[in-house]
Structures are given as C-alpha cells and as structure tokens.
C-alpha cells in the first residue's frame, strides 16, 4: 500500500511562508537547497510527516501537495493516468529517489516518490 511520506507548500513568497510556519508551529526550516526549504516537524514516537517550502513553479504557483511513496513510480504513473490523472511533470531522477508530479481527475496535485534501493 502506498503511503503519504511528505508535503510541499508552494507559494510566491517562500521566505514569508517559512517565517510564518516556523513561528506559528515551531517547525524547523532549513536554508534553501535548489530553491526548496526542507521542513522538519516534531512528532511523538516518530509520528511525523516532513516536507518542504518552495516558490511555486508556473504550473503550480501556490498550494499544498502531498507526496506518496510507491514501489514502482512507472507503474503508479501508468495506473494513475489510466484512471484519469494528468502528468504535470514527468519522472525526475535524484540521488536517492525518483519523483513525478501529477494532478488527479478533479485537479488536486500530488507527487509520487520511489526510493532507489
């Protein structure tokens, strides 16, 4: 079963957003890496979901996206598109994982992540 492993907060003023979430929720927000600020939330017994804040791209200028970890990103993309999803950003490769962005049939954005083994 796929699970939610993270979130992204996209906006046009990430510095202001980082300051807000840091002050209001006491989240630890790192300095930006490639325009993405990793966010660490604290939770009891590792019951936490971390994420990030970034300047939203033209295809997703503001909003929140969940990130879902899957066993096979290619399979998940195929199944999602067969069921009405639209690929917003094709599979990208990073050092430890693959990532793609999609929108579901009602327009909600989400990310798919597959860890490299």
User: Do 1-67 and 70-117 show the same overall fold?
Assistant: yes
For the segment 29-41, the average pLDDT, to the nearest whole number, is 93
Partners of 113 in the β-ladder: 69, 99
Domain 1-67 has CATH 3.20.20.10: no
CATH of 70-117, one of 3.30.70.60, 3.30.1490.20, 3.50.50.60, 3.10.180.10: 3.10.180.10
pLDDT for 59: 76
CB 88 within 8 A of CB 60: yes
Please return the burial class of 39, using the count of CB atoms within 10 Å of its CB with bins 0-12, 13-18 and 19+: buried
- Grade residue 45 by pLDDT with cuts at 50, 70 and 90: low
pLDDT tens track for 79-109: 999 999 999 999 999 999 999 999 999 888 9
Helix (H) or strand (E) holding 76: helix 73-82
- Phi, psi for residue 27 in degrees, rounded to 5: -75, 145
| Prediction pTM value | 0.84
Task: For the chain, give the mean pLDDT.
Answer: 92
Distances (CA, A) of 98 to 15, 22, 23, 26: 27, 28, 32, 30
Partners of 33 in the β-ladder: 36
What's the rounded Cα separation, in Å, for the pair 25 and 88?
A: 30
For the segment 43-60, the average pLDDT, to the nearest whole number, is 82
- Phi, psi for residue 80 in degrees, rounded to 5: -65, -45
Each domain of the chain, given as residue ranges in start order, spans 1-67, 70-117
């Amino acid at each position: 079963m796929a699970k939610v492993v993270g979130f992204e907060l996209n906006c046009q003023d990430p510095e202001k957003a980082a300051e807000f979430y840091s002050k209001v929720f006491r989240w630890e927000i790192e300095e930006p890496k490639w325009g993405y600020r990793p966010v660490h939330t604290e939770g009891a017994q590792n019951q936490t979901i971390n994420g990030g804040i970034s300047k939203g791209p033209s295809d997703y200028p503001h909003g929140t996206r969940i990130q879902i970890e899957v066993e096979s990103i290619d399979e998940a993309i195929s199944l999602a598109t067969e069921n009405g999803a639209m690929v917003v950003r094709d599979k990208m490769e990073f050092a430890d994982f693959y990532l793609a962005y999609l929108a579901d049939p009602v327009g909600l954005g989400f990310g798919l992540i597959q860890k490299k083994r």
